[in-house]
Homo-oligomer: A and B are copies of this chain.
Amino acid sequence: MEIPHRHLFGPGPTNPYPGATAAFADPLLGHLDPVFLELMDETCAMLRQVWGTDNARTIPLSATGSAGMEAAFVNTVHEGDVVVVAVNGLFGQRMCDVAARCGAEVVPVEHEWGQPVDVDRVLSAQPSPAIIAAVHAETSTGVRSDIAALGADKGDALLLVDAVTSIAGIELRADDWGIDVGYAGTQKCIGVAPGLAPFTINDRAFERRVEKPRSWYLDLGLLGGYVGEASGSGGRTYHHTAPTAMVASLHAGLARILDEGLPAVWERHAAAGKLLQDGLEERGLELFAAEGHRLPELTTVKVPDGVDSATVRKALLEKHSIEIGAGAGAYASSVWRIGLMGPNATPESVELILAALDDVLA
């Protein structure tokens, strides 16, 4: 089967860093091999840096970002717990569904899509929720919300945050901002193929965890022994077979990012996003996300009147081998999502996509 090269400028996956792809060609290691355990330890240490945390329990879960969301709720929601969810897009909605399946009494705080989370409204939605949950960078709308403000006034609640599209793309400081539980994905600004969910949980949340959660696969109490978070490499116990090739690839992607330096990586994403958003507005296109809250790594733009969204996306793919995303939910055909993530956060990518749009929209 002939696999074409695509410029992956959608909401993810992005094209991986070359080193992350190259790592797949290394010999496969067993999941209990001492060399793999060292590679896993290094991976966890690098994940702590991109999360901005000292949490011992910072690990790549063996499934995609959505399983990270499930792990976050299934380990922390006790039957009947009040969980306040800030809903300003698809992933906030999904949080409500997942939390409810874990036995939560969900209190959704609805927002207009395209707007950031209204911190005051979320904090005052319930007097003493067990958990407050929010999405840092809403992949469905391209909006950034103020997690630090939520963390500052969360009270006794645990703060549970989706950082799938923010991690390694924009500033993220889990510890400084009071994030108790966080999950992410590899396939966006980390620049690695999809398949793992970088996850972090602090002692405060771990101590309140569900002793026997509804999920065995995502049970952090069982997983802890496997990744050796508390006991060091010596105390590893078998839980499940880790996806060793994916972990090796993640290791390489993280090393690439930290070699450049996180502030430089954030700046690169910021610059590319601004260049794209300026270019789109110069062309008379209208951005969807609220001004002042736009993500640089994921730009949402309104499909112009009289233009068919799918036709344009098909032409971009077939003529330019460029993938961009449709909108999400009610905006499926009225919004496009353009991602510049990981290795694609460059001026060259911006030139490519703008030139292709000029061609296709002409």
List A residues at the B interface (Cβ < 8 Å): 1, 3-6, 8, 10, 12-13, 15-16, 21, 24-35, 38-39, 42, 62-67, 69-70, 74, 94, 97-98, 101-102, 185, 187, 193-195, 212-217, 238-246, 248-249, 251, 317, 323, 328
Contacts and interface: CB of A to CB of B under 8 A. Distances in A.
A8 B4 CA distance: 33
A317 B29 CA distance: 12
Given A13-B241, A195-B246, A35 B4 contact: yes
A234 to B, nearest CB: 12
Nearest to A26: B3
Contact of A6 (B3, B21, B30): B30
A269 to B, nearest CB: 19
A4 to B, nearest CB: 6
A241 B33 contact: no
Copies in the complex: 2
A323 B212 CA distance: 33
A133 to B, nearest CB: 14
A282 to B, nearest CB: 27
Contact of A216 (B12, B64, B70): B70
Contacts of A28: 6, 8, 13, 15-16, 21, 193
B3 A243 contact: no
A65 B217 CA distance: 10
Nearest to A22: B25
27 contacts: A1-B39, A3-B248, A4-B35, A6-B33, A8-B30, A10-B30, A10-B32, A13-B241, A15-B28, A16-B28, A24-B25, A28-B193, A31-B194, A33-B323, A62-B195, A63-B63, A64-B243, A67-B217, A70-B215, A70-B216, A74-B215, A102-B214, A194-B241, A195-B245, A214-B215, A245-B246, A246-B246
Interface of A is mostly: loop
Contacts of A8: 28, 30
Contact of A243 (B24, B30, B194, B215): B194
A173 B329 CA distance: 41
Nearest to A214: B214
A120 to B, nearest CB: 29
Given A16-B28, A245-B249, A246-B246, 13 more contacts: A1-B38, A3-B29, A3-B35, A3-B39, A12-B241, A13-B31, A13-B241, A62-B64, A64-B240, A66-B240, A70-B216, A97-B216, A195-B195
A101 B243 contact: no
What 5 pairs across the A-B complex have the smallest Cβ distances?
A24-B24, A195-B243, A193-B245, A63-B63, A66-B240
B29 A6 contact: yes
Nearest to A255: B1
Given A28-B13, A248-B3, A101 B212 contact: yes
Contacts of A65: 240-241
A138 B337 CA distance: 47
Instruction: Output the residue of A13, A21, A69, A216 with the most chain B CB within 10 A.
Output: A216
A243 B185 CA distance: 11
Contacts of A239: 66
A39 to B, nearest CB: 6
A334 to B, nearest CB: 17
A356 to B, nearest CB: 16
A69 to B, nearest CB: 8
